[in-house]
Amino acid sequence: MSGGAARRYVAAALGRARARGPPPLWEPPPARHLRALGTGGAAALSPPPPLLLLLPPRRHLSSRNRPEGKVLETVGVFETPKQHGKYETGQLFLHSVFGYRGIVLFPWQARLYDRDVASPVTEKSENVAGHGSKEVKGKTHTYYQVLIDARDCPHISQRSQTEAVTFLANHDDSRALYAIPGLDYVSHEDILPYSSTDQVPIQHELFERFLMYDQTKVPPFVARDTLCAWQEKNHPWLELSDVHRETTENIRVTVIPFYMGMREAQNSHVYWWRYCIRLENLDSEVVQLRERHWRIFSLSGTLETVRGRGVVGREPVLSKEQPAFQYSSHVSLQASSGHMWGTFRFERPDGSHFDVRIPPFSLESNKDEKTPPSGLHW
């Protein structure tokens, strides 16, 4: 990597991380999460820049004379982000929006329906009753199933749920939901890849069950048979197939629906879905989410309206320093399919309000539905 290219790469990585949010291990006031050494000359920047994170000190280190008892430590070396292709199982990365460390388990190929992109040729109609939305064309896009470093979970919990991946276990309680902590879905462009010589660079209870170190491989973490078996067994409720995105007043809403399975309740069938939503402020103006307004249409012919304060008990503030918020929720229908759409109401600093459209998305049950998992046994 030439000195000029390295400088541009470091500047881009730093700028992206600073613009999109605070680091996982450094609280406001704003501070630099990523730092590159040797920025004084091209020769010093010839190797890839190191990734430095502000971490709690190790027990044998004295925290004397260190602010808040933290120390800057090297955790890896940045790699150039891939513009084409996909990342492999075992790729270490820093999330460019939420700032946590993670590792790729495996990729998913999804259809992204982006209402911000004009489609001269329509491939799929999303014209949901009552919403009046335009038709959009789906585009193949890569997402990744990843593990989140447990050390970073407490620092992102106000911005992103770390137990968002839920499933219906095959038990008698038809309404029981189970969650796996520290799993996430990450879009290709949100990955800032890095490498590490640490044989256990990510702290997660599933890391050593799913992955093993092999220094002859690149990346040097390869899938164990347990990871392959887990993916094969549980893909019906893990796999994402459609992603929907729309921007209103510089607030971008991304929705990913997942079918979770069907249960019998009171002599009828109840179909369950979960949906993950990311709200992102693309502007510098501070806004706060105040209300949600959902419309839920079922194939059985019912149309339900749901209004409420905030989402998942919160009214998140989206600012330049903290631009994004991500959460998941659930919905059930007494029909095998339906649609959802609606609006989020935001408030500006001057007290004025505006509504942000939630892109309409389908709730479809899997035709080749399999038995829900009975539990997480490896």
Q: Enumerate domains of the chain plus CATH numbers.
A: 74-116+138-364 (2.60.40.1470)
**CA–CA dist 364, 359 (Å, integer):** 16
**Three-state secondary structure readout of 330-373:** EEEECCCEEEEEEEEEEECCCCCEEEEEEEEEEEECCCCCCCCC
Cα–Cα distance list, 332 to 171, 237, 254, 339, 369 (Å): 17, 15, 20, 11, 16
Question: Token pair 């320093």 is at which residue?
Answer: 321
* Contact indicator for 54, 30 with CB cutoff of 8 Å: no
Q: Region of 220 please: left (phi>0), alpha (psi -120 to 50) or beta.
A: alpha
pLDDT tens track of the chain, all 378 residues? 444 444 444 344 444 444 444 444 433 333 333 333 322 333 333 456 776 665 655 444 344 444 455 667 788 899 999 998 999 999 999 999 999 999 999 999 999 999 988 555 444 444 444 444 567 888 999 999 999 999 999 999 999 988 888 888 765 555 677 888 899 999 999 999 999 989 999 999 999 999 999 999 999 999 999 999 999 988 888 888 899 999 999 999 999 999 988 888 778 889 999 999 999 999 999 999 999 999 999 998 999 999 999 999 999 999 999 999 999 999 999 999 999 999 999 999 999 999 999 999 999 986 545 444 444 443
9 within 8 A of 15, measured Cβ to Cβ: no
pLDDT value at residue 17 = 47
Q: Which residues contact 122 (CB under 8 A, 6 or more apart)?
A: 135, 136, 137
Query: Are 94 and 122 spatial neighbours (Cβ–Cβ below 8 Å)?
Result: no
Query: What would the two tokens of residue 291 be?
Result: 């209300």
- The structure's pTM equals 0.79
Give pLDDT, residue 36: 32
What pLDDT shows up at residue 69? 55
